Amino acid sequence: MSELYIDRGNTALKWQLVERGRLLNQGVFSNEITLREGFSTLKESRLANIYVSSVAAEAFCRDLQVWAKERLYPTPTFVESTRKACGVVNAYQDAAQLGVDRWLAMIAAHHKYTGMLCVVDTGTALTMDFLLESGQHLGGFIVPGAELMRKSLLSNTHKINIGDTPNSSQLGTNTSEAVTYGVEQMLVLFVREKVVDVGEKHQQPITTILTGGHATVLAEGLWPDVRLEKDLVLQGLQLVTKSYQ
């Protein structure tokens, strides 16, 4: 019997099928795709548990429950942020208000790395969370992500095509480059400045860990010792739910 782990973000759903710690299958699909289509490769799977991290609206929770019931799968368990888990202490006064994706990413980072950490999740929003080596969460920041800023800037502008322009510290020589380079540099400089500020305040070096859909692009503009983690939320989800089994 296997466990199905699901990370449902604002734009896409990632999943992993795991049996006794061994990864059997994994995938990612857009939120615009139905669960039946997205999970088509799971038809022959026998599931013991379904564990979910979701920042989506209640409609997704209901849809997932219906999907699981139709296939005679276990009822999905939706993980929430708590006051403390796996050695990490939540800084929020109301622990449940911290996004569960941020919470699980911090837990995974604390499990894998030593020292003071900055966990940066680069999705629709860019989030930064700082942790002491002890696991104490200090708090963090939330700002619009790259795509959200580009769309906001161009929402009332016509005849401009923003393609997949790579990150660069150069000056843009057309509107597409100017917007993309400007947004990327804003995010790079913001992350760099905040890591320096917090590190100086606590007089400790900080390891910066990037995850999320925009992490690779952002890493190009940051210093060499930044760490990239592809599925940090799913890693944290597996750690937290070990006690459930």
Which amino acids are annotated catalytic? 101
Q: Which long-range contacts (CB under 8 A, 24 or more apart) does 227-233 make?
A: 227/113, 229/108, 229/109, 229/112, 231/7, 231/14, 231/16, 232/104, 232/105, 232/108, 232/109, 232/119, 232/121, 233/7, 233/14, 233/53, 233/101, 233/104, 233/105, 233/108, 233/121
**For residue 244, how many C-alpha atoms fall within 13 Å in the half-sphere facing its CB?**
16
Six-digit token pair at 191? 């992350």
Distance from C-alpha of 241 to C-alpha of 42, rounded to nearest angstrom? 21
The residues with which 116 forms a beta bridge, in sequence order, are 206
Bridge-based pairing state of the strands 137-144 and 125-131? antiparallel
Residue 164 is assigned to a ligand binding site: no
Residue 231 is assigned to a ligand binding site: no
Residue 129 is assigned to a ligand binding site: no
Residue 14 is assigned to a ligand binding site: yes
Residue 96 is assigned to a ligand binding site: no
Residue pair 144/152 in contact (Cβ under 8 Å)? The answer is yes
Six-digit token pair at 73? 């799968």
Distance from C-alpha of 222 to C-alpha of 151, rounded to nearest angstrom? 24
The residue to which tokens 């999705």 are assigned: 123
Residue 139 is assigned to a ligand binding site: no
Closest CA to 99 of 134, 76, 124: 124
Residue 21 is assigned to a ligand binding site: no
Residue 9 is assigned to a ligand binding site: yes
Residue 102 is assigned to a ligand binding site: yes
Residue 165 is assigned to a ligand binding site: no
Residue 175 is assigned to a ligand binding site: yes
Which parts are annotated binding residues? 7-14, 92, 99-102, 121, 124, 175
Which parts are annotated binding residues for K(+)? 121
Which parts are annotated binding residues for substrate? 92, 99-102, 175
Which parts are annotated binding residues for ATP? 7-14, 124
